[in-house]
Structure 1
Amino acid sequence: MSGTSATPSSGPVKALHLGSGAPLLLLHGFLLSPHCWEQTAARLAARCEVFAPALAGHWGGPEFSDDDYTVPTIADRVEAQLDDLGWRTCHIAGNSLGAWVGFELARRGRARTLTAIAPAGGWRTPSAAQLYAAAKFIALTPLIEFGRKLGDFPTDSRVVRRAVAHLLVRNVEDVPRADIANQIRAALHCPALRPLVAATLRGPGLADMSELNTPVRLILADSDRFLPAQTYGRRFLRELPESADRIMMRRAGHVPMLETPERVANLIAEHIYASRDHLRAV
């Protein structure tokens, strides 16, 4: 393991790196950090070599240029890390922004399989869905900038922790206090907030997915309060190849790894091994 321990830490993490076996890349969502994968990664490490980096511009991640901050440039940084590991290809699981980056890496031929969990980027440009997604992040901007001035108050406050948890998960009581505190710290230490909102407004969403050759498992959450599946899952359901798995997680929110890590680990592992054995998972 590199960059952290099996127990949740409270400082920035450049990457989680643990386990042995099939190479597996885990990508976190916007404003978050590798901390959100800690419990899931620990379960997958029994069968995979797991690498979960901090994305560029996020807490613990590489620096970035404000003028060139887009999903393809984030993917460039991740691809360079894969090269450093000697991973020509790997299995990829991503959540939200991380899933969007995962689709970009799949187009580049770097993904053996892709598990996309509550993926972002499934909007047309321009569209009401695109503007609504950007508006949500714009609304968070003053709150995050104010929170940066309050020291430890945002992570120590039970009210703040519950409000943040409510955005990320369905079952707030199922998420340990330390895990939510780390997501708050990640948001407060994410300089990419404004550049990525701008990129969301001016740039395109995902390119057409119908020709993807990578085995894809799409996982939507029925209680996603941030990118509701009814709106942001439609294009994925429509465009992904018929061979792609389409799963609706019940009683789960936008970042299900925080509230049900074992369930998410099982869904990722099932997809990896079904594809390896040329079987289709149900």
Structure 2
Amino acid sequence: MSGTSATPAPEPVTALHLGSGEPLLLLHGVLLSPHCWEQTATLLAARCEVFAPALGGHWGGPGFPDGRYSATTLADRVEAQLDDMGWRTCHIVGNSLGGWVGFELARRGRARTLTAIAPAGGWKTPSITQIRAAAKIAPMIPITEILRQLGGYPVENRLVRWVMARLLTKNPHAVSRADISAVVLAALHCPALPALTADTLRGPSLANMSDLTTPVRVILADSDRVLPAYAHGRRFLRELPGSADRIMLNRAGHVPMLEDPERIANLVAEHIYASRDHLRAV
């Protein structure tokens, strides 16, 4: 992340699509974009056909004319994309908001397996945990609006990049400058943020997960500064079927694929192939 020379600013990406094999859908979190999956997607493309779209209202993604952004409407859009690709079902991996969308798609029968990494939506409605989740996101609305007025300054500013990397990871220095620059740009171009924040407060959370038949692996991070595992992981640990994998990542933050893409790729591939071959993942 250090260095004084300017690097070309990343361009928005509507979707990553690479590799061949088992169909695999990667879903990013709020304020992010497909860029956060690039390294992990490249590793997984050796075994899978990987598709990582930009979610609606996010950098590179489609805008919704009515402005109704929620986990449900985002899932509607992704489901339409799967239909266009001819993917009746696929393996799904979602981080944060993407994990919430992944659960919505699994409930619709679209998931062969689901890997949820630091998933959102695991609060009761209403609850203190729900309010805390919205309180974490809400300050980003005025902050991103102010930074957006500064042009390219936030992307080139070392402090801004470090603060963003520290929020999302345990080890900011493990994140490349290109990756964190893409994160900053995505955060500055997310018109869905106000609606998603409001939906967190007033909308329903995830439906009961105890009856899910999809093989699920939930991965929580011990150093998650956005959705701390001790509060936001409880419902997943308690409510998912006994057959679901529950993993706690040590020394990892909210978006672990930024700091350790190989580790995440291995955990995803292990779950896909253990489930495909009817083996219990360890």
Residue range with higher mean Cα deviation, 36-45 or 137-146? 137-146
Residue range with higher mean Cα deviation, 9-18 or 44-53? 9-18
Letter in 2 for 1:123: W
For 1:221 and 1:276, the matched residues in 2 are separated by 26
Judge conservation of contact 1:19–1:48 (CA < 8 Å) in 2. yes
Judge conservation of contact 1:27–1:52 (CA < 8 Å) in 2. yes
Correspondence list, 1:94-113, <5 A: 94-113=94-113
Percent identical among aligned pairs is 73
| 1:3 alignment partner in structure 2 | none
What TM-score, normalized by structure 1, do the two folds share?
0.96
| 1:24 alignment partner in structure 2 | 24
For 2:68 and 2:191, the matched residues in 1 are separated by 14
Secondary structure of the corresponding residue to residue 68 of structure 1 = coil
For 2:249 and 2:10, the matched residues in 1 are separated by 29
1:53-88 CA deviation, whole Å, 9 max, x = no partner?
000000010111455322111000000000011000
Correspondence list, 1:259-278, <5 A: 259-278=259-278
For 2:218 and 2:167, the matched residues in 1 are separated by 21
1:137-162 CA deviation, whole Å, 9 max, x = no partner?
11111110000001111110111100
2:75 equivalent to 1:80: no
1:222-281 CA deviation, whole Å, 9 max, x = no partner?
000000000000000000000000000000000000000000000000000000000011
| 2:128 alignment partner in structure 1 | 128
Judge conservation of contact 1:25–1:51 (CA < 8 Å) in 2. yes
Letter in 1 for 2:45: A
1:9-39 CA deviation, whole Å, 9 max, x = no partner?
7010000000000000000000100000000
| 1:156 alignment partner in structure 2 | 156
Judge conservation of contact 1:66–1:195 (CA < 8 Å) in 2. no
Secondary structure of the corresponding residue to residue 213 of structure 1 = coil
For 1:31 and 1:92, the matched residues in 2 are separated by 20
Correspondence list, 1:38-49, <5 A: 38-49=38-49
For 2:66 and 2:238, the matched residues in 1 are separated by 33
| 2:4 alignment partner in structure 1 | none
For 1:67 and 1:225, the matched residues in 2 are separated by 28
For 1:238 and 1:52, the matched residues in 2 are separated by 29
Judge conservation of contact 2:9–2:181 (CA < 8 Å) in 1. no
For 1:100 and 1:65, the matched residues in 2 are separated by 22
What TM-score, normalized by structure 2, do the two folds share?
0.96
| 1:203 alignment partner in structure 2 | 203
Secondary structure of the corresponding residue to residue 151 of structure 2 = coil
Secondary structure of the corresponding residue to residue 26 of structure 1 = strand
Letter in 2 for 1:237: L
Could you say if the C-alpha distance between residues 65 and 239 of structure 1 is closer, same or farther in structure 2, counting changes exceeding 3 Å? farther
Letter in 2 for 1:83: D
Secondary structure of the corresponding residue to residue 138 of structure 2 = helix
| 1:4 alignment partner in structure 2 | none
After superposition, the CA RMSD in angstroms is: 1.0
| 1:174 alignment partner in structure 2 | 174
For 1:122 and 1:9, the matched residues in 2 are separated by 35
For 2:57 and 2:252, the matched residues in 1 are separated by 27
| 2:137 alignment partner in structure 1 | 137
Letter in 2 for 1:270: E
Secondary structure of the corresponding residue to residue 183 of structure 1 = helix
Secondary structure of the corresponding residue to residue 246 of structure 1 = strand
1:82-124 CA deviation, whole Å, 9 max, x = no partner?
0011000000000000000000000000000000000000000
Structure 1: gaps of 5 or more residues? 1-7
| 1:64 alignment partner in structure 2 | 64
| 1:147 alignment partner in structure 2 | 147
Secondary structure of the corresponding residue to residue 231 of structure 1 = helix
Structure 1 residue ranges, 4+ long, deviating more than 4 angstroms after superposition: none
